[in-house]
Structure 1
Amino acid sequence: MINAVISLFASNIGSKVILGLEIVAMIVAIIMVIVGLLQNKKSQTGLSAINGGNEELFSNSKERGMDKTLSIWMLSLGIVFFIVALVICILTNTIL
């Protein structure tokens, strides 16, 4: 009886933790989309990715200012999203 109550209580808390982490993952994903839209285009057209025409591939240009800040934000948000997704996966498989 006591074990059933404890497992029910732990499952309820686990579900709330997983739900909270899913909300965090959704917020991080939305912020990543916004940061991605704010970044400058690297090439002139989207078709250059299809035909392989990237003139600035090996050019010696560095990111500066807002481009560098947005790039750092995107990298760190991607790492956070990856870690949160792994934690959600692990908790879902162990708790539920």
Structure 2
Amino acid sequence: MNQNLIFAFEIILFIVATVLVILGLLQGKKNHNGLGALSGGNQELFASTKERGWTRLFSIITLGLGISLFIIAIIIRILMNTLL
């Protein structure tokens, strides 16, 4: 029973990590100013841009999945220390 619980959390962790990677790949690049700042390009380095639409949704979901990834990993570690 104890190993089944840990295994279930590991499967959930794998699914969350996979979805997190896919969402990360679907997001566009947010910062195009890195090389322009080094080469002296005239780009708006400190421009304030707001995320809108799908970009904002992907960003919020990615943040939530990242936080849940760490929480699930900590839960698995605690279960392994206490149950096994």
1:68 aligns with 2:52: no
1:90 aligns with 2:78: yes
Deviations 1:19-67 (A, max 9, x none): 000000000000000000000112338xx3xx68385553111000010
Whole-Å Cα distance in 2 between the matches of residues 34 and 40 of structure 1? 12
- What does residue 10 of structure 1 align with? none
CA RMSD after TM alignment: 2.1
Report the CA distance between 1:79 and its aligned residue: 1.1
Q: Is the 8 A contact 2:10 2:76 kept in 1?
A: yes
Percent identical residues: 46
The answer for the alignment partner of 2:6 in structure 1 is 18
Q: Which has the larger radius of gyration?
A: 1
> 2:25 — aligned with what?
37
Change (3 A) 1:21 1:56: farther
Number of equivalenced pairs: 80
Aligned mates of 2:67, 2:4 — CA distance in 1: 23
| Inter-partner Cα distance in structure 2 for 1:42 and 1:77 | 19
Contact 2:37 2:45 (8 Å CA) reproduced: no
Aligned counterpart, 2:68: 80
TM-score w.r.t. length of structure 2:
0.84
Q: Can you give the 5+ residue segments of structure 2 that lack an aligned partner in the other structure?
A: none
Unaligned residue ranges in structure 1 (runs of 5+)? 1-12
